[in-house]
Amino acid sequence: MIRQGQLLTEEKWQAIVRNDASYDDKFIYAVESTGIFCRPSCKSRAPKREHVRIFDSAEQARAARFRPCKRCKPASGSMPEVEWVEQIAGYIDNHYSEKLMLETLADMCHGSPYHLHRTFKRVKGMTPALYIQQKRIDKASEYLQSTDKAVSEIALCVGMGSTSYFITLFKKITGQTPAEYRAKHNSAVPPGGALS
């Protein structure tokens, strides 16, 4: 059922099924089951008609939370690099505790690993790997200040399986070990309770 954008007429449906490039500048179609939007000429397998939504532009499809197809690149050149990098950074911010590889980020954000790495570094001033590390250390710092979790548990919570690597990285970035950081930032709270 169409809830937004244009109606899926028989003419538009046939353009999608036939991969008709003459309709590429007339509309964009999105597939609800995959969350992807395409040009009518896209060579991807034809979707089920009931899952198709029609939009006037890639911007409308994106505003409805659909992602551009990697194959037909319906938003090619239309997403500014800063916005693209913010999308990637937002994904990292929400998934920092997972195993994140450059290839995973590139696939999720519909770009090549090389282009993603280069563009991210230019826009953010650091590589995606460094951004992920910084995010993990920032979250670890919050845990050290607000919980009494063991350092090994915090390492796991922020996506680092090796406690010794976590301690080494934490000290490299903050200048302190996690234990030193916790002691320094919890020094205002007396043992066993809050300030009265």
**Which residues are part of the catalytic machinery?**
38
Backbone phi and psi for residue 54, each to the nearest 5 degrees, phi listed first: -110, 135
Length of the chain: 196
First to last CA, the chain: 60
Degrees, nearest 5: CA angle 51-57-27: 60
CA distance 55 to 127: 35
Q: Give the three-class secondary structure for 5.
A: coil
Q: Which among 115, 102, 8, 89 is positioned nearest to 51, based on CA atoms?
A: 8
